[in-house]
Amino acid sequence: MDATQRPLVVPPRIGLYAEEKGLFRLMQIMLEGLMIHRPDDPIGFLIELLLLDNDDIPRILLLGPPASGKTTLAMWLSKHLSAPWLSQETLLDSDWSTLMASVREFQARKEEIPEDLWADLLEERLQLPDCLHNGWILEGFPETREQARSLQAAGIIPRHVVVLYAPDIVLLERNLGKRVDPMTGEVYHTTFDWPPDKALQARLVPAEGSSETATAQRLLAYHRNYYGTLLSFGAKMKLINADQPCADVLAQVLSHIEAPPASPAAFSLRILLCGPPGAGKSLQAALLAQKYGIVNVCCGQLIKEEVADGSKLGELMKPYLENGWPVADNMVLKLLSQRLSQWECHVRGWVLHGFPRDEDQARAMLHADIRPNRVFFLSISADTAVQRLSYRRVDPVTGERFHLVLRPASHKEVHERLRQHPRDAEEAVQLDVDRHQRLSGGLEAFFQGSIPTAVLNADQDPQTVFEYIESYLVRPPPLNPPGTLFQSMGRET
């Protein structure tokens, strides 16, 4: 890219590389780390951050009222994700921390441990190798807004916050039947999860604080602090009903935390519209360009403009147009690369129609790094295509276009002077439609393997078709998009 030349040309490969490698997300992670930790040596900090390569490890807060199943769920998640399971109890049971002396002093005086001390204790635990490389699952903490703010101030930012909920009467009944294995710490229940091993049954003991009075007091304290915690995490919170089998709760939690998150990267639409003549590609492209400010690139119009400008490439294309031949693919691709490499296309995005027409052209387009991130196939029957195009007329005086059925002229004198363009004759339209059906057979299957694709029924009101297209565009792209993001919508059956 040469910054001294105008118009500024940005090779498409630059944007594609940034999307494929997640450079925006990487920059976001590094800036977040600098703002949260404010290291004295920023360069060294960033190098260490990149060497960790732990962007995708789980960082989960598992919250909920007493007896909602947090402990059991945290244990299962820890085994499934191979991530350490942390809680206030596990933090206090170990002597690895240099802060344990301060904790013991508060315990000896039977005072509550301050929020800042909890945050420091947890921060020190998360710096151990198992958490750095495998992530962590923190159960039952924070319990208050003050504790949540202490974690955030210490730079402990979870990726997912799962909050379980259930009616209080259900929670009271559950807690009364809770039993704990004193040897392993695993939790069982007399009704829902009673172990078959007789020896294990014999050593189970009631869980501490499982009486009805103690549970009611804990529920009251939880409800009192719940909304403060809710305000601390906001949109990150995922509420899941705990009044169902544990396996179903686990499945919902895994579905949530394993779903690819939406990319926060600056996103430029690169839309490709395909379909037979008369499907409405030009109209939909104009509507998209008008509403979203993207560049409308009509391949046929682009070729005519290049020939009219008299450029070197235009002179090479001129004989093709004069003789009614299709322009050579390599010339079209060169022209498209020049147009789509301009700065406005890189920043604003683009919508392309009129190319490719077959699978070979599509393969050559991707090889030239012209890669759309949305592909729409507008589907209509051959009869509808012929009807739409063969009824078009042009006013030779004003140049305005009309349609004998969909948009007839309002005045008789205008109607009488309308003329049909030779390319809109029924025989010519039928030949174009037959050619499209013959050449475009493998085009849909080709794109569905690598690029988000949708097939729309275009034999309906144009505004309805546009709304279908728009419903796909407003979905942010996932960080790791699958081959076919969209399902067919509005397709004829």
> Do 215 and 362 have their domain in common?
no
What is the β-pairing status of strands 136-139 and 178-180? unpaired
Q: Please say which residue of 258, 292, 325 terminates a domain.
A: 258
Integer Cα distance of 3 and 5 in angstroms: 6
Residues 6 or more apart whose CB falls under 8 angstroms from that of 447 comprise: 272, 362, 375, 453
List, for residues 259-268, the tens digit of each pLDDT value: 766 665 666 7
**44 occurs within a structural domain:** no
Tell whether 211 and 275 lie within a shared domain.
no
**Same domain, yes or no, for 300 and 239?**
no
CATH of the domain at 251: 3.40.50.300
Q: Is residue 29 part of a domain?
A: no
Tell me, yes or no, whether 253 and 380 share the same domain: no
Of 75, 73, 91, the residue nearest 83 (C-alpha): 75
In a domain, 455, yes or no: yes
Asked if residue 316 and residue 201 are part of one domain, the reply reads: no
Contact yes or no for 357/432 (Cβ under 8 A): no
Instruction: Spell out the residues 6+ positions from residue 392 whose beta carbon is closer than 8 angstroms to its own.
Output: 401, 402, 403, 404, 420, 421, 424
Domain that holds residue 198: 58-258
- Do 430 and 330 lie in one domain? The reply is yes
Q: Is residue 45 part of a domain?
A: no
Q: Please tell me the total count of domains within the chain.
A: 2
Last residue of a domain, one of 233, 258, 283: 258
Whether residues 301 and 209 share a domain: the answer is no
Confirm whether pTM is higher than 0.85: no
Do 453 and 334 share a structural domain?
Answer: yes
Inside any domain, residue 78: yes
Structure tokens at 492: 């004829």
The pLDDT tens digits of the residues spanning 301-338 come to 999 999 998 889 989 999 988 888 889 999 999 999 98
Same domain for 130 and 184, yes or no, is yes
| 203 and 231 part of one domain | yes
Please tell me whether residues 239 and 303 are part of one structural domain.
no
Residue range 134-168, pLDDT digits in tens: 899 999 999 888 888 888 888 888 989 999 999 98
Residue 169 lies in a domain: yes
Q: How far apart are CA 135 and CA 122, in angstroms?
A: 13
Domain finish residue from 228, 258, 288: 258
Q: Within a domain: residue 468?
A: yes
Summarised one tens digit per residue, pLDDT across range 41-93 is 999 988 888 887 666 789 999 999 988 888 889 999 999 999 999 998 888 87
Mean pLDDT of 93-116: 81
- Determine, yes or no, domain membership for 32: no
Q: Are residues 226 and 283 in the same domain?
A: no
